[in-house]
């Protein structure tokens, strides 16, 4: 079974703009990988609480 995905479809799915990439890269450079994941999930329109425990999310938002 094969799936045909053209470039237009994959580019349309990308929702993160350049202003949003900046804090993600800053978090990665600072070694805050969990915070970068939270930012990516938020910018893509997902609820980070669906992917991590509440206590972890709460700690990350307080620290950042």
Q: How far apart are CA 63 and CA 34, in angstroms?
A: 11
8 Å CB contact between 50 and 56: no
The pTM of the full predicted model, rounded to 2 decimals, is 0.75
Q: Kindly state whether residue 31 falls inside one of the protein's structural domains.
A: yes
Q: How far apart are CA 20 and CA 18, in angstroms?
A: 5
Q: Kindly state whether residue 1 falls inside one of the protein's structural domains.
A: no
Q: What is the pLDDT of residues 11-38, one digit of tens each?
A: 556 688 989 999 999 999 999 999 999 9
8 Å CB contact between 48 and 41: yes
Per the structure, the count of domains in the chain is: 1
8 Å CB contact between 27 and 33: yes
Q: Kindly state whether residue 44 falls inside one of the protein's structural domains.
A: yes
* Residue 46 belongs to domain spanning: 16-63
Q: What is the mean pLDDT of the chain?
A: 86
Task: Give the residue, 58 or 3, on which the prediction is more confident.
Answer: 58
- Rg of the chain, C-alpha, whole Å: 15
């Amino acid at each position: 079974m094969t799936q045909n995905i053209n470039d237009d479809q994959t580019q349309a799915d990308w929702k993160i703009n350049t202003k949003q990439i900046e804090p993600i890269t800053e978090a990665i450079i600072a070694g805050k990988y969990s915070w970068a994941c939270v930012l990516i999930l938020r910018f893509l329109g997902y609820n980070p609480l669906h992917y991590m425990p509440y206590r972890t999310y709460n700690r990350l938002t307080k620290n950042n």
